[in-house]
Amino acid sequence: MTTHLAEAPPANPSGAHRLARDARRELDDARDILADAVGADPGGVIFTSGGTEADNLAIGGVLRARPGVAVCSAVEHHAVHDPVDQSGGAFVPVDPAGRVTPAALEDTLARLEAEGRPVSVVSIMIANNETGVVQPVAELAEVVRRRWPQVVVHTDAVQGLPWLPLASLLDGVDLVTVSAHKLGGPMGVGALVRRADVPLAALALGGSQERGLRGGTQNVVGICGFAAAVAATAAARSVEVPAVTALRDRLAAGLVEAVDGLTLTVPGDVERLPSVVHCCIGGIESEELLFLLEREGVMASAASSCASGAQQVSHVLGAMGISPELARGSLRLSLGVTSTSAEVDAAVAAVAAGVARLRSHGGPVAGTDAERAPA
Ligand code: PLP
């Protein structure tokens, strides 16, 4: 497999000549790596332009092939939430930690059945992009399998792929969304992986690529980068996960210690990704804090980075029962494999200083609008 992107064959993999065949071979190698990572056959990998397209294909593609109701958790990324919403689908409530319980899923499906609304697809993300909470996806898939075996089960594993051994966690899951840029691969490439031969129709028409399930010339360079990132991540996971988890715990403990009125959004005994600390800070506006943090070189966000800037209270926090007042002071700090304990300590100090400053001002901090980049 090509690991140097400049060496990716400069040819359309659908062609017949030698360079095209080389490109096709690169795609096939990449399919092997992706399939291995999620426990699927290589033929099940459908390359897309990213996680958003893969999520849209999972929901819209199943509905197109088998019309019915789409169901997802109330805390999904918008790439799942919005197609489910637009199709008139249903949402499964979460507990205060942001988890879907088997009972809540079963209740939702039973209610839809009683209403005569047959469900086609259920989508529950394996890890949340705002809070990092990990869902018991295999247990939830088992609920679906037991009573509604014809329902397709999808999981958005964009956040899980870097940190979790997905292949061992996805029993009963038919479709899996992954994206390259969450594990250091290029932006603008992802995949929907079919782990079982479930009904699925293409949304992007106009070519027979990806077994007719996603028309359009594949992004060969991006796909090579994606596969290289997946392989490198899998090889380093046993070292990197404990190291980043320790940093996460240091960050969480440091914040609680340094900032009065700060609550961790997810209790410490709930399974979370190593990469996220999410908290809510009473009496401040996150937008103001983000501005101060950025000046100290700490790039944080208030909700998911996709939603921030819109200054709406996150639907994820709302679904967890967090009041709009508290959610207005929400902060998500992310860690990666290059993070260090010195950076963690500096972030804690910056948050503490920023909060103290905001509280002492009792209002907006100084700074022109032009100075304030969107969060
Ligand atoms: N799903 C989740 C859970 C995400 O965190 C993201 C992006 O952050 C997406 C989907 C969208 O993926 P992409 O940015 O590759 O379109």
Q: pLDDT tens digits for 4-20? A: 666 777 789 999 999 99
**Ligand 1 midpoint to CA 353 (Å):** 32
In this predicted structure, the answer to whether residue 1 has a pLDDT above a threshold of 70 is no
Distance from chain centroid for Cα 358: 31
**Ligand 1 midpoint to CA 244 (Å):** 21
Determine the pLDDT at residue 311: 59
In the chain the first and final C-alpha atoms are separated, in Å, by 38
Relative to the CA of 129, which ligand 1 atom is closest?
5
Task: Please state, in angstroms and rounded to a whole number, the distance separating the CA atoms of residues 369 and 265.
Answer: 30
Q: How many CB atoms lie within 10 A of CB 196?
A: 13
Pocket test for ligand 1, best of 158, 178, 223, 316 (most atoms within 8 A of CB): 158
Q: pLDDT per residue over 57-92, tens digit each?
A: 999 999 999 999 999 999 999 999 999 999 999 999
Comparing C-alpha atoms, which of 158, 176, 170, 154 is closest to residue 63? Answer: 154
Pocket of ligand 1 (CB under 6 A): 50-52, 55, 77, 79, 125, 129, 156, 158-159, 179, 181, 190, 306
The residues pairing with 324 across neighbouring beta strands, listed in sequence order, are none
Give me the mean pLDDT over the 271-296 stretch.
96
Task: Please state, in angstroms and rounded to a whole number, the distance separating the CA atoms of residues 29 and 223.
Answer: 10
Give me the mean pLDDT over the 120-137 stretch.
98
Average pLDDT, the chain: 93
Determine the pLDDT at residue 7: 72
Calculate what percentage of the chain has a pLDDT beyond 90: 89
- In eight-state DSSP terms, residue 170 is -
Q: pLDDT per residue over 90-108, tens digit each?
A: 999 999 999 999 999 999 9
Relative to the CA of 125, which ligand 1 atom is closest?
3
Task: Please state, in angstroms and rounded to a whole number, the distance separating the CA atoms of residues 171 and 154.
Answer: 11
**Ligand 1 midpoint to CA 158 (Å):** 6
Ramachandran quadrant class, 227 (left: phi over 0; alpha: psi -120 to 50; beta: rest): alpha
Instruction: Please say if 306 is a catalytic residue.
Output: yes
* Confidence tier at 365 by pLDDT (50, 70, 90): low
Contact 180, 226 (CB under 8 A): yes
Token pair listed for 216: 């359009």
Q: pLDDT per residue over 293-346, tens digit each?
A: 999 999 998 864 444 445 578 999 999 999 999 999 999 999 999 999 999 999
How much is the pTM?
0.94
Instruction: Give Cα separations from 288 to 4, 324, 331 (angstroms).
Output: 42, 16, 11
Task: Please state, in angstroms and rounded to a whole number, the distance separating the CA atoms of residues 166 and 237.
Answer: 12
Relative to the CA of 76, which ligand 1 atom is closest?
3
Q: Where are the alpha helices (DSSP H) in 176-314?
A: 220-258, 286-295
Determine the pLDDT at residue 363: 57
Pocket test for ligand 1, best of 55, 78, 129 (most atoms within 8 A of CB): 129
Q: 3-class SS at 6?
A: helix
Determine the pLDDT at residue 305: 45
Tell whether the torsion through CA atoms of 270, 265, 127 and 315 is positive or negative. positive
Please give the angle made by the CA atoms of 251, 257 and 258, to the nearest 5 degrees: 85
Which residue is it, tokens 């529950």?
A: 124
Token pair listed for 49: 């332009």
Q: From the candidates 224, 279, 280, 306, give the one annotated as an active-site residue.
A: 306
Pocket test for ligand 1, best of 125, 161, 179 (most atoms within 8 A of CB): 179
Nearest CA residue ID for atom 5, ligand 1: 129
Task: Please state, in angstroms and rounded to a whole number, the distance separating the CA atoms of residues 100 and 336.
Answer: 26
330: enclosing H helix or E strand: strand 330-334
Which residue is it, tokens 């292949």?
A: 167
Task: Please state, in angstroms and rounded to a whole number, the distance separating the CA atoms of residues 354 and 334.
Answer: 18
**Ligand 1 midpoint to CA 226 (Å):** 14
109: enclosing H helix or E strand: helix 102-114
In this predicted structure, the answer to whether residue 368 has a pLDDT above a threshold of 90 is no
Relative to the CA of 128, which ligand 1 atom is closest?
3
**Ligand 1 midpoint to CA 51 (Å):** 5
**Ligand 1 midpoint to CA 222 (Å):** 16
The number of C-alpha atoms within 13 Å of 98 and in the hemisphere containing its C-beta is 30
Torsion of CA 35, 41, 44, 45, to 10 degrees: 20
Task: Please state, in angstroms and rounded to a whole number, the distance separating the CA atoms of residues 242 and 295.
Answer: 30
Token pair listed for 139: 């247990």
Give me the mean pLDDT over the 22-41 stretch.
97
